[in-house]
Amino acid sequence: MRVLLCTLPQNTHFLTLAPLAWALRTAGHEVRVASAPGFSGRITQAGLTASPVGRDPEVAEDDSAARESIRRGLPRPYDVAELGPDAVAWDDEAVEGYGIMVQYAFGEDNEPMIDDLVELARAWQPDLVLWEPFTYAGPIAAKACGAVHARFLFTTDVLGVTHEWVRGLGVEDPLIDLLTEASRRYGLDYSDDLVAGQFTINQLPPSLRTIGTGDYLHMQYVPYGGPAVLPKWLWAKPERPRVALTMGLSATEYFDGYTFRPSDILASLADLDIEVVATVAASEQKRLGTVPDNCRIEPYVALHALAPTCSAVIHHGGFGTLSTVALHGVPHLVLPYHFEGPLLARKLAEQGAGLVVDADAVSGQAIREALLRLLHEPEFEVRAARLRAEYRSLPSPNELVPQIEQYVAKLR
């Protein structure tokens, strides 16, 4: 079987695809990954074959207001995935927010790659096209060559739930208009699978899911964050409770720094009998000032190696970070920001596997109080172990491959 993976040139979108790509390869299938030319290094670094398509995206003009709007959580109307349809209205603000997302995230980000992707698909003739949910060029290319296609989620299905809700309203849908126009260029008609896929692969356990209708296959999340070298200090078991502080790479790549001052948090924990390992971007380290004696500052440590040594992890609630910590049964202290982070944090807290401090309430004192609860109340560890069992009950990528093969055979 030939499998073509399609992704926008963004680490978050691609990295969770890699373990399934490896599983397909080791099962004997041919796999190629299509993305912008400048992203080929990241793909080949993961041991996969890159197929450059289109051109690299232009650097967008600075729009701090737009970034801050999604830093607070899901923008309208995508907050329907969190609040439910009864709490969200299709008003002028929702229409505008939806239109902006369609124009930029799905339109302008995809347009440069569609022609090349269709040409590649028609030439190579894949049996299956897997596309992450922002890459709507993927299903168009699949239809153009007659391949089966499926969405591969790198977080909870916010987009799928919202797009399904909008279609159900019976209103004018700019996403359908965009996909209809793009499809016609290749002699294709619009169909709803261009929005939702013929089936969807989801990596979250039941207690953390937000999903719509349609066929979902469920897969266990496997951490992969790119190349990693383990420092020697990580070999030995910590002599006192270890607490990791990591706020993700997107905080400095996409946003202008963190939502709080890391130095405030470190200072609030300075007198505790714990070891704090804080992964702080090099650009932010100069703002730390004096570092307490119980803190170790690193620009990066592979979380899948660090998390198992920890008694608690303080993090931003991103899908990959949250899932990696959950896989090791470690209690979470979540300071959520950015798009789906608050939604995932709330669902995590509902399971009792951690605590949440909202971005507006972050302070050294609030973090200290919440962390002491995680370290001294055994129920958090019990609930975190229960969530770990939920994650590990899902099929591994290797176990999922036969199910994918069956779906492709049925749909073809």
Q: Rounded to an integer, what distance in angstroms lies between the CA atom of residue 173 and that of residue 179?
A: 10
Of the candidates 266, 244, 246, the one whose C-alpha atom is nearest the C-alpha of residue 368 is 266
Q: Rounded to an integer, what distance in angstroms lies between the CA atom of residue 137 and that of residue 104?
A: 14
Q: Is residue 172 located within the same domain as residue 257?
A: no
Are the C-beta atoms of residues 170 and 358 closer than 8 Å to each other?
no
Q: Is residue 207 located within the same domain as residue 276?
A: no
- How high does pLDDT run on average in the chain? 93
Strand 275-279's sheet: what is its strand order?
295-298, 275-279, 242-246, 312-315, 332-334, 354-356
Q: Is residue 276 located within the same domain as residue 168?
A: no
Q: Is residue 92 located within the same domain as residue 210?
A: yes
- Residue 88, domain CATH: 3.40.50.2000
Torsions phi, psi for 55 (to 5 deg): -135, 165
Does any domain span residue 226?
no
Q: Quick one: tokens of 230?
A: 């383990």
Are the C-beta atoms of residues 333 and 313 closer than 8 Å to each other?
yes
* pLDDT per residue as tens digits for the range 190-245: 999 999 999 999 999 999 999 888 999 999 999 999 999 999 999 999 999 999 99
Q: Is residue 328 located within the same domain as residue 407?
A: no
Number of independent structural domains in the chain: 2
Q: Quick one: tokens of 407?
A: 């779906």
Record the pTM. 0.94
pLDDT at 108 over 50: yes
pLDDT at 95 over 80: yes
Of the candidates 310, 304, 302, the one whose C-alpha atom is nearest the C-alpha of residue 275 is 310
Range of the domain at 250: 232-392
Q: Is residue 146 located within the same domain as residue 8?
A: yes
Does any domain span residue 339?
yes
Does any domain span residue 320?
yes
Using a pLDDT cut of 90, give the percent of the chain over it: 85
Q: Is residue 75 located within the same domain as residue 168?
A: yes
pLDDT value at residue 259? 64
Are the C-beta atoms of residues 211 and 347 closer than 8 Å to each other?
no
Torsions phi, psi for 11 (to 5 deg): -55, -45
Angle at 273 between CA 272 and CA 276, to 5 degrees: 80
pLDDT value at residue 250? 55
238 vs 60: which has the higher pLDDT: 238
pLDDT at 66 over 60: no
At 142, the amino acid letter reads A
Q: Which residue has tokens 């969530």? A: 387
Report, as an integer, the average pLDDT of 80-103.
95
Does any domain span residue 238?
yes
Q: Rounded to an integer, what distance in angstroms lies between the CA atom of residue 19 and that of residue 30?
A: 14
Does any domain span residue 388?
yes
Are the C-beta atoms of residues 20 and 1 closer than 8 Å to each other?
no
Does any domain span residue 225?
no
Q: Is residue 287 located within the same domain as residue 206?
A: no
Q: Is residue 291 located within the same domain as residue 369?
A: yes
Q: Is residue 150 located within the same domain as residue 121?
A: yes
390 contact partners, CB below 8 Å, separation of at least 6: 205, 206, 207
* pLDDT per residue as tens digits for the range 309-349: 999 999 999 999 999 999 999 999 999 977 899 999 999 99
333 bridge partner residues: 314, 355
pLDDT at 254 over 50: no
Residue 246 banded pLDDT, cuts 50, 70, 90:
very high
Torsions phi, psi for 245 (to 5 deg): -125, 115
Does any domain span residue 71?
yes
Q: Rounded to an integer, what distance in angstroms lies between the CA atom of residue 323 and that of residue 325?
A: 5
1 contact partners, CB below 8 Å, separation of at least 6: 24, 29, 30, 127, 128, 405, 408
Q: Is residue 194 located within the same domain as residue 158?
A: yes
Q: Is residue 17 located within the same domain as residue 110?
A: yes
